[in-house]
Amino acid sequence: MKALDNKLKNIRNSNYKPSDFIIADAKDADMGGGRRAPGYIREENGKLTDKPASYDSYLNKMEEMTKSEMVDVMLMSMTSAEKLVNKDLFKNSQVTPAVRLNDTSCIWGMLRHGEYDKEESRPFSTTQLRHAINFVDLGLYSMTFNKNVDRDVLMLNKYRDFRDEAEKIGMRHFLEVFNSATMKLSIKDMGEYVNDCILKTLAGQISKEKPLFLKIAYNGPKAMEELASYDPGNLVIGILGGGKGTSRDCFELLRQACKYGARVALFGRKVNLSENQLTIVQTMRNVIENDLKSDEAVKLYHDELNKLNIKPDRDLQNDSELTEESLKM
């Protein structure tokens, strides 16, 4: 049994302890990000350049993180999963491989000169389940509710069809629900809307077709706490990382989400665009397992970077700023 399954068992049996917090490295940006998905090349001293990194370097980072076993899940595109599973990377590892099983139009926002994030999200899937099941038995399925009955019915129908196919072949899933980029709601109202949409969606499912956990935006303490307290143990809440932000944003997001009931963090850019990916994840573990405050975590992170002769992207003062509004509520 891999770490993910052990930790979920403890969470569901009310035996949760901080070391059971689940961290996923979201390295699936190539499903929606185009050429810039792997991030940018850094010099030996950590200085960021404007040259896009190669896909091979992206794969190398996945291998490095998996071998470290600092994360519990490695989320990838199907192309990456095929390559790394075929190398037996996960064979004797505690890390669970997973793939993004659909790529709704709202994740295409990183495509240069595209404006897909200005339109209501449409369901779409490049990955075929019949191929994916040959490499992994866990995947992410994504939805966005648009407060548009026709769009939302289509989204729900596609999700129902996916669950039917996934159940037949033994594909487990976790459910990502984005905040809509086109809805003009306050953070508070968005949290209430998304929470209600999630609970409405799950209510008609039996246990064997339900997601293992959720992946949602952090819409403040109240929204997180009300969702996490709805059906503790059965409904496991995970948070997505969003933009890179400051290091303080990363650690404070983790700290607040955990405090108000989240048990999973699935971070992409906050890890992939960091000065040193292993170091930032290790610091994230310190925040959760050692109850480290976010400002203290930034200092620790900078100290560790200095030991590696890596210059931080921001000085300590600027990197200690909170810039994300949901963390100031």
Q: Identify the pLDDT of residue 45.
A: 86
Please count the residues of the chain: 329
Helix (H, G, I), strand (E, B) or coil at 287: helix
Quote the number of domains for the chain: 1
Say if residue 221's pLDDT is above 90: yes
**Please, what is the average pLDDT of the chain?**
96
Say if residue 233's pLDDT is above 90: no
Per-residue pLDDT band for 109 (boundaries 50, 70, 90) equals confident
Query: What DSSP character marks residue 230?
Result: T
Q: Identify the pLDDT of residue 35.
A: 92
**Tens of pLDDT, residues 40-52:** 999 988 889 999 9
Could you list the beta-strand ranges (E) of 15-113.
22-27, 40-42, 48-52, 73-76, 96-100
**Tens of pLDDT, residues 127-143:** 999 999 999 999 999 99
**Tens of pLDDT, residues 257-301:** 999 999 999 999 999 999 999 999 999 999 999 999 999 999 999
Which structural domain range is residue 306 located in?
A: 3-327
- Tell how strand 40-42 and strand 48-52 pair up: antiparallel
Largest Cα–Cα separation, the chain: 55
Instruction: List the end-to-end C-alpha distance of the chain, in Å, as a whole number.
Output: 39
Per-residue pLDDT band for 87 (boundaries 50, 70, 90) equals very high
pTM of the model: 0.97
Residues in contact with 288: Cβ distance below 8 Å, sequence separation at least 6, in sequence order? 18, 21, 254, 255, 258
Q: CATH number for the domain including 101?
A: 3.20.20.70
Helix (H, G, I), strand (E, B) or coil at 190: helix
Q: Which residues pair with 73 in a beta bridge?
A: 24, 96
